[in-house]
Amino acid sequence: MGAGIAAILANAGITVVLLDIVPKEFLGAEGKKRSALAVGAIERLLADKKLPAFATDEMAKYITPGNLEDDLSLISDCDWIIEVVAENLEIKHKLIERLLPHIKADAILSTNTSGIPVASIAKNMPVDLQKRFLGTHFFNPPRYMRLLEIIPTAETETDVIEYMTDFGYHILGKGVVKAHDTPNFIANRIGAVVTPLAFRQMKKYGFGIDKIDVLTGKLIGRAKSATFETADLVGLDVLAHVNNNILGALTDEEEKEYFKLPEEIRAMCENGQLGNKTDAGFYKRVKDENNKKIKLVWDFAKQEYVMPDQIEVPFIEVGKKISRLRDRLCALIYSDEAESKFLWENISEIIYYSAKVKNEVADDYKDIDNAMKWGYNWEVGPFELWDLIGFEKAALRMKADGKKLPEWVEERLVKKENFYERDPDFNSFESVYPVLKKFNHSTLLDLGDGVLGLEFKSPGDSITANIRKELVTAIDQVENKNQYKGLVLLNSGGNFLVGADLKEMITSIMAGQLNDVGDKISEFQQVSLRIKYARKPVIAAVHGMVLGGGCEFALQASRIVAHVDTYMGLVEVGVGLIPAGGGLKELVQRNEKLLKSLSCNDFTPTIQKLLFQVATAQVSKNAYEALQLGYLQPTDIIIAQIDGLTERAKEEVLRLAKDGFRQVLPKQTQVTGNSGMATLRAIIMGMTEGGFITGYDAEIAEKIAKVLTGGDVPNGSQITEQELLRLEKEGFTELIQNAKTHERISGMVKNRRPVRN
């Protein structure tokens, strides 16, 4: 955990000292061996390619490993010292006592405890240090879990609380909530109710583990891993530790009942069924006789793992088809089926408990909602959910069930005052900014200060014909009115744009209208050029997946403001095509500009790199890697806080406008021509023989190479942008007529995965 926190600081460009104990076997040794634990922790993070802690491996160099015997002096220059040792008060006190002589007068000290009262850790500190001490509870893994709970004590200075909140939000990109110093703070206090509650209700209704997970996952707006799969992910031993910690801290016997783990779960812990870490928990993943991975589920009656039931309850299947969360929840819980009664009891108990402890754990119920969204990946928090199912209706039903609502909730009920004025189920910037015009697949917004925003809302975040027309209309609007200074392209969903609408394309193919596809490519290219040559700045605020045509549109923008977790790439080869919306053209132009600025005339090595990148549909793992791949430029901006993306893009529009924005002018591009193409053909042959690409991939790669080298011209030729676009369209239209491309497109539409043919 300590190394994971060090990594997110390093990702922010902050130098970090990581200290651990000296391993027993090296107590008498000298040199680097004594810091083996800290060094090993960094190496393990670097080796983890499934959930990489570092944005790039280079970031690890920001961390200096050391040990707590020889290197304590290294912290004397540190502005923030984070204690992340075992959850044992005595161990924490002893470590802090050793740190005291080395902590500078204005440094902040914090503990990453997940359950020990922060005030008890501060107990023996000098009074001056207590003012600069607080809890900073990161959720694991720190890079991917957004929640950061700030837990001040009565002595923590307000300036320190405000500084750490601001630092966590803006620099580390965290969702920060201020928690009271109460048992397990906010998220784990509410979250620890979930598994014991679901288990008791499972037994009451006679449902199985797998059915409970179907009912308590995405269906009701919680994490995909639902209840028991989440427990496996966290670890049943960790679950038991958290619940035991709360039970030991509470005095109210009625409240303790929420957290008592059933004997069946305690027995699993004793049997070593701890979840994913032991490859067996509520679920067990094995291979069948065909070597195919299957997931078994624990049967408490049989005391063995069995094949899960096929959950096809009509009530649930109907619910799955309701897209809007509010409508789905109301359909599910206000019904007579046993599953409906289960859901009502489960949901109402969690929101009721959250209301009961609100004043104890937080200043504001919104902090509880945010803690559950950011710490447990719920779509909405308990009070947002209460609004969705009808605040008054649900409150009266809870009272009918015999629940005594807290006084603060009763006051709202009398006033008929929901928890939120906004619609918690309305994920759009329309609730934040005035709407100027609603289009079919986008909305034009007034971001203020003369800046407009075009919010994409197309099905599946795809680039539809509507999106293309609406984008041009938005640019026209900005250019033709003096009061507007520029445009921001944005999306409030999980992604920016993920490429062309394949359903539109396959409809044209099925109808034999291949000329129509060619016309659409020309239109697509013209929209790209409209973005690039706009007379006022167009900023792309990107996050999530920025793929195919979405990447091509972003490449044309005056500037990109990217969230750090942005996945960019030209992936058209997966559907048997080449990028034809100006993406390859832009990579060629950027490559030439960069190399000429370095007085380098040999373009071949970098063109080879670009060929491999596009022909293998390489996607950046984050924004920093997108910079390395050339999808972002040094002038583009990378930020950690996703909630600040739109405002930062708006600031960039205003800055460019203030500095005197100049419209880009078309230029000719130097290409490698025939000699470059000969080299790339040899590379393609090697990629095919090496098994990197299939035979049909090689055909596609040839067409990519033709664009990258500028076609049938001598090395060093200067060609126009239109010629590069012509080569893109030519390669695309040839491929769209091939049956293998049709197979790839159909496979992607039907199965959401590439076909390798």
DSSP assignment of 287-318, as one string?
Answer: E-TTS-EEEEEEETTTTEEEPPP----HHHHH
Quote the pLDDT of residue 426.
67
Residue 355 in any domain: the answer is yes
Kindly report, residue by residue over 85-104, the tens digit of the pLDDT.
988 999 999 999 999 999 99
Domain ends where: 155, 178, 201?
A: 178
Return the amino acid letter for 253.
E
Quote the pLDDT of residue 7.
97
Residues 222 and 251 in one domain: yes
Return the amino acid letter for 686.
G
The phi, psi pair for 82, rounded to 5°, reads -115, 120
105 lies in which domain range? Answer: 2-178
Residue 313 in any domain: the answer is yes
Q: Which long-range contacts (CB under 8 A, 24 or more apart) does 119-127 make?
A: 119/153, 119/154, 119/181, 120/89, 121/83, 121/89, 121/92, 121/93, 121/96, 122/153, 122/155, 123/93, 124/93, 124/96, 124/97, 125/96, 125/100, 126/100, 127/155
Residue 756 in any domain: the answer is no
CATH of the domain at 90: 3.40.50.720
- Using alpha carbons, select from 62, 82, 67, 61 the residue that is nearest to residue 5: 82
Residue 422 in any domain: the answer is no
Residues 391 and 443 in one domain: no
Q: What whole-number distance in Å separates Cα of residue 385 and Cα of residue 730? A: 52
Q: Three-state SS across 414-433?
A: HHCCCCCCCCCCCCCHHHCC
Residue 600 in any domain: the answer is yes
Residues 449 and 594 in one domain: yes
Residues 405 and 433 in one domain: no
CATH of the domain at 698: 3.90.226.10
Structure tokens that stand for 177 in this block: 């909530």
pTM (whole model) above 0.85? yes
Structure tokens that stand for 108 in this block: 């902040």
Quote the pLDDT of residue 425.
67
Q: Which residues in 85-146 belong to E strands, given as ranges? A: 108-111, 133-138
Q: What whole-number distance in Å separates Cα of residue 416 and Cα of residue 263? A: 42
Structure tokens that stand for 220 in this block: 């009701």
Q: What whole-number distance in Å separates Cα of residue 3 and Cα of residue 137? A: 14
Residue 48 in any domain: the answer is yes
Residue 752 in any domain: the answer is no
Residue 241 CB burial class (10 angstroms; 0-12, 13-18, ≥19): middle
Quote the pLDDT of residue 428.
83
Residues 158 and 296 in one domain: no
Residues 159 and 231 in one domain: no
For the chain, which ranges sit under pLDDT 70? 424-426
Quote the pLDDT of residue 751.
80
Q: How far is CA 260 from the centre of its chain?
A: 33
Quote the pLDDT of residue 604.
87
Structure tokens that stand for 700 in this block: 């596609």
Residues 529 and 554 in one domain: yes
Residue 421 in any domain: the answer is no
Quote the pLDDT of residue 680.
95
* Total number of domains constituting the chain: 3
CATH of the domain at 349: 1.10.1040.50
Q: Which residues, 6+ apart, have CB-to-CB distance to 273 below 8 Å? A: 236, 280, 281, 298
Domain ends where: 149, 178, 207?
A: 178
Residues 563 and 621 in one domain: yes
- Using alpha carbons, select from 7, 14, 15 the residue that is nearest to residue 55: 7
Residues 167 and 242 in one domain: no
DSSP labels, 362-431: BS-HHHHHHHHHHHH--SS-HHHHHHHT-HHHHHHHHHHTT----HHHHHHHHHT--S-SS-TT--SGGG
Residues 333 and 285 in one domain: yes
Domain ends where: 127, 158, 178?
A: 178
What is the SS3 assignment for 500? strand
Residues 445 and 409 in one domain: no
Residues 574 and 660 in one domain: yes
Kindly report, residue by residue over 457-493, the tens digit of the pLDDT.
999 999 999 999 999 999 999 999 999 999 999 999 9
Structure tokens that stand for 693 in this block: 């690409």
